[in-house]
A and B are shown apart, each in its own frame.
Chain A
């Protein structure tokens, strides 16, 4: 067995094995071309479809991270989304602990609360986010979403609202709104703010039900001077969030909880993971179907060449070499097909590099945090997954024909011809 395996491995590196395989495939060029086309078109379409799907979920994640969440968030251990004011952290010591962290490129303190926003014409229940105007742009793109007016500055009592909320309140830049809240002691209170800017956020939730204040204004409104609800963090490497999580946890000590964006958005995270798993399933399904086609072609080729295989075995070709030739034929078919498929798929991705404009569905897409311009995103897995699956396919598809070839009895093959 070991000898046969060594012979097989040795055969695979011989140029003549590949020459025989190529010439064998060249005997029926039309048939080989049909298989190549099937592999190439199947894989190319799949790559493009996967890139568009990943573009969709990837942009959804990017939107969530960059518009509000950040890569990581820090809260007091007992903090809950449903009662954002109940548990708080000291602002200055928390910032001091994280400033200078090697794995972070941005730290933004926030205070979260709830309010009733009132204009002279309407009232709307809203979420209030108090942000540090100078630090927030290091973590999110909120500041760049201002479509009218200006980002928060040093002027007190300025509020930013989404275009949707402005419409609901029937108000605009320069108008006043009143935020009625229940402060940290449970007392009803309120304050008037002038709308300093209108945002154009990528999600309906930010657009229609969020008011952004400067952190000092929010702290005064809720009566929590010097305290914050959360720290939003931007990591130096988003693909490796465990290091910044560990560094932040170590710097802040006990009593805090550091979560990644995946933990803050479990549904989105699950969608991405599900998509990754589905990718393998789809690749496997496509290639299993291809494997039957390839096995069929190889088997036909082997049966047509019964006499030739008989000759090769008669003149002393080791069975392991015969197996290597059939596997090489399969590998050539699959690999050339995969190369063409890559060219088609990545060519398509390149052609759509500017994105597909889905603006006509804008409102509906924004409601689910989906992008209105769909950009295909290719990943390294789009190369490695097909290569791995194709390699396995080439092997599996050729096993039956290869076994059929080595079981050929030379005398019988020569007699039959």
Chain B
């Protein structure tokens, strides 16, 4: 069974009465343990597809499922519980909670999951150390560089060991060295812990590291390439 599955999914936005189709009849299955890139130019529908897989948005038509569970059948609270239990997110603009420190940002997901304070704090520190930010644990996001913030975002996404990490242009705001380190980290997590990664990018250096590349253009899948 596919971890993520989209069947004939379309998404339409209406802005000031003007309708725009972000996705048209997209079908895609992501199997457990995949390290997949969604590639395409801006406006091709990458973020929209990630949002639909992440239960952050609902399709206009078609069905999206996670581990075989049709997301359309779940309530707002059930979707939140599903995201909390199974998904980790990395957003393009870092999107950390500005009033929490790096450690608190990472710890917060586990706190929502009901983990006890001592073990969750220990785990959050360990993951921050994994991403090379042990010494910045008590800094707030605005006191860190873009690369550091994105590493905190990665730490937050993986700290509770989700089945799937959805990353939207994770290297978009990073220099090439930091971007390379981030991809290394994601690869390591995928390889060592079996975390399924689906990330959007139009960075060729990132695309060439993916084992599967799904190319989108104007809301449709135009190519689906896998490593030999």
Contact residues of A with B, CB < 8 Å?
3-4, 7, 14, 16, 20, 23-24, 26-27, 307-308, 311-321, 406, 409-412, 414-415, 417
Instruction: Please measure, in the bound complex, the distance between the C-alpha atom of A307 and the C-alpha atom of B108, giving whole angstroms.
Output: 17
Instruction: Determine if B77 and A410 form an interchain contact, defined as CB atoms under 8 angstroms apart.
Output: no
Instruction: Determine if B81 and A316 form an interchain contact, defined as CB atoms under 8 angstroms apart.
Output: yes
Instruction: Please measure, in the bound complex, the distance between the C-alpha atom of A409 and the C-alpha atom of B109, giving whole angstroms.
Output: 19
User: Inside 8 A of B82's CB, which chain A residues have their CB?
Assistant: 316
A414: contacting residue among B81, B91, B156, CB under 8 A: B91
Q: Does B57 contact A (CB under 8 A)?
A: yes
User: Inside 8 A of A318's CB, which chain B residues have their CB?
Assistant: 77, 80-81, 84, 112
Instruction: Determine if A319 and B77 form an interchain contact, defined as CB atoms under 8 angstroms apart.
Output: yes
Instruction: Determine if B89 and A315 form an interchain contact, defined as CB atoms under 8 angstroms apart.
Output: yes
Instruction: Please measure, in the bound complex, the distance between the C-alpha atom of A312 and the C-alpha atom of B108, giving whole angstroms.
Output: 9
Do A314 and B54 contact each other (CB < 8 Å), given the known contacts A4-B77, A16-B111, A321-B112? yes
Known: A16-B108, A314-B83, A318-B81. 14 other contacts (CB 8 A): A7-B77, A20-B97, A23-B99, A312-B97, A314-B89, A315-B83, A316-B80, A316-B109, A316-B112, A318-B80, A320-B77, A412-B57, A414-B51, A414-B95
Closest 3 CB pairs of A and B: A316-B84, A411-B57, A23-B99
Q: Which residue of B lies closest to A321 (CB)?
A: B112
Instruction: Please measure, in the bound complex, the distance between the C-alpha atom of A409 and the C-alpha atom of B51, giving whole angstroms.
Output: 11
Instruction: Please measure, in the bound complex, the distance between the C-alpha atom of A411 and the C-alpha atom of B71, giving whole angstroms.
Output: 15
Q: Does B56 contact A (CB under 8 A)?
A: yes
User: Interface residue tally of chain B, by bracket?
Assistant: 20 to 34
Instruction: Determine if A26 and B99 form an interchain contact, defined as CB atoms under 8 angstroms apart.
Output: yes
User: Inside 8 A of A410's CB, which chain B residues have their CB?
Assistant: 51, 56-57
Instruction: Please measure, in the bound complex, the distance between the C-alpha atom of A314 and the C-alpha atom of B97, giving whole angstroms.
Output: 12
User: Inside 8 A of A27's CB, which chain B residues have their CB?
Assistant: 99
B85: contacting residue among A316, A411, A417, CB under 8 A: A316
Residue from B91, B93, B99, B156 having most chain A Cβ neighbours under 10 A: B99
User: Inside 8 A of A414's CB, which chain B residues have their CB?
Assistant: 51, 56, 91, 95
A311: contacting residue among B77, B81, B97, B113, CB under 8 A: B97
Instruction: Please measure, in the bound complex, the distance between the C-alpha atom of A238 and the C-alpha atom of B93, giving whole angstroms.
Output: 69
Contact residues of B with A, CB < 8 Å?
47, 51, 54, 56-57, 76-77, 80-85, 87, 89, 91, 93, 95-100, 108-109, 111-113, 156
Residue from B56, B87, B91, B108 having most chain A Cβ neighbours under 10 A: B56
Instruction: Please measure, in the bound complex, the distance between the C-alpha atom of A411 and the C-alpha atom of B79, giving whole angstroms.
Output: 13
Could you name 5 residue pairs across A and B whose Cβ atoms are closer than 8 Å?
A: A14-B111, A16-B108, A23-B100, A316-B109, A411-B56
Number of interchain pairs (Cβ within 8 Å): 75
Shortest distance from the beta carbon of B98 to any chain A beta carbon, whole Å: 7
Instruction: Please measure, in the bound complex, the distance between the C-alpha atom of A364 and the C-alpha atom of B53, giving whole angstroms.
Output: 81
Q: Which residue of A lies closest to B99 (CB)?
A: A23
Residue from A4, A315, A318, A409 having most chain B Cβ neighbours under 10 A: A315
Instruction: Please measure, in the bound complex, the distance between the C-alpha atom of A313 and the C-alpha atom of B82, giving whole angstroms.
Output: 11
Q: Which residue of B lies closest to A413 (CB)?
A: B56
Q: Which residue of A lies closest to B13 (CB)?
A: A415
Q: Which residue of B lies closest to A10 (CB)?
A: B114
Shortest distance from the beta carbon of A44 to any chain B beta carbon, whole Å: 30
Shortest distance from the beta carbon of B77 to any chain A beta carbon, whole Å: 6
Instruction: Determine if A308 and B93 form an interchain contact, defined as CB atoms under 8 angstroms apart.
Output: no
A307: contacting residue among B51, B81, B95, B99, CB under 8 A: B95
Q: Which residue of B lies closest to A406 (CB)?
A: B76
Q: Which residue of A lies closest to B48 (CB)?
A: A411
Instruction: Determine if B93 and A417 form an interchain contact, defined as CB atoms under 8 angstroms apart.
Output: yes
Instruction: Please measure, in the bound complex, the distance between the C-alpha atom of A315 and the C-alpha atom of B86, giving whole angstroms.
Output: 10
Instruction: Determine if A3 and B57 form an interchain contact, defined as CB atoms under 8 angstroms apart.
Output: no
Shortest distance from the beta carbon of B96 to any chain A beta carbon, whole Å: 8
Instruction: Please measure, in the bound complex, the distance between the C-alpha atom of A27 and the C-alpha atom of B91, giving whole angstroms.
Output: 23
User: Inside 8 A of B76's CB, which chain A residues have their CB?
Assistant: 319, 406
Q: Which residue of A lies closest to B76 (CB)?
A: A319
Instruction: Please measure, in the bound complex, the distance between the C-alpha atom of A314 and the C-alpha atom of B95, giving whole angstroms.
Output: 10
User: Inside 8 A of B113's CB, which chain A residues have their CB?
Assistant: 316
User: Inside 8 A of A26's CB, which chain B residues have their CB?
Assistant: 99
Instruction: Please measure, in the bound complex, the distance between the C-alpha atom of A14 and the C-alpha atom of B99, giving whole angstroms.
Output: 17
User: Inside 8 A of A319's CB, which chain B residues have their CB?
Assistant: 76-77, 80
User: Inside 8 A of B95's CB, which chain A residues have their CB?
Assistant: 307, 311, 314, 414
Instruction: Please measure, in the bound complex, the distance between the C-alpha atom of A318 and the C-alpha atom of B111, giving whole angstroms.
Output: 12
Instruction: Determine if A315 and B109 form an interchain contact, defined as CB atoms under 8 angstroms apart.
Output: yes
User: Inside 8 A of A308's CB, which chain B residues have their CB?
Assistant: 97-98
User: Inside 8 A of B47's CB, which chain A residues have their CB?
Assistant: 415
Shortest distance from the beta carbon of A307 to any chain B beta carbon, whole Å: 7
